[in-house]
Amino acid sequence: MILSSSEIARRRGVGDLIIEPYNVASLQPASYDLRAAGAATLQRGACTLIPSIEWVELPADLAATLRCRSSLGRRGVLLGAGFVDPGFRGQLTLCLTNMGPEPIDLSEGDRIVQMIIQEVKNGEHLYQGRYQDSEGAVR
């Protein structure tokens, strides 16, 4: 089941889902928009790693799928590496590739990726990988 905006807000309120800093304008009907942590230019044909402003912590019963916002997709931007496991903590490194006809400038705080949060049933394993507690863009 995908979490609705009211369920995302409720889970944040009880403290088991952490999204900080939280921006109410980023809350969508069934997702939360992650924002760029700094300004960047997406060059044509290049993959650019951009960290999210948000620090995200998912409990054992939640995972997230990342999707490029349609406003960037219409300009030719593709998102790679789009899944966040239960138990992940850290800033998310967003892999954006510009396949469009021109460079695209991003400003700090621009909403660039949708995080769709869904329930995980009977999950037993938490993320323990090398990106745990990551800060900034991590290769």
pLDDT in tens, 83-126: 999 999 999 999 999 999 999 999 999 999 999 999 999 877 88
For residue 3, what is the DSSP state? P
Hey, what are 23's tokens? 């921006």
Length of the chain: 139
Q: How far is the C-alpha of 13 from the C-alpha of 18, rounded, in Å?
A: 9
Number of Cβ within 10 Å of residue 21's Cβ equals 9
Average pLDDT of every residue of the chain: 95
Q: How far is the C-alpha of 53 from the C-alpha of 136, rounded, in Å?
A: 9
Supply the pTM of this predicted model: 0.92
Query: What's residue 135's pLDDT?
Result: 85
Spell out the domains of the chain, with CATH numbers in brackets.
Answer: 5-119 (2.70.40.10)
Judge residue 122's burial from the number of C-beta atoms within 10 Å of its C-beta, 0-12 exposed, 13-18 middle, 19 or more buried: exposed
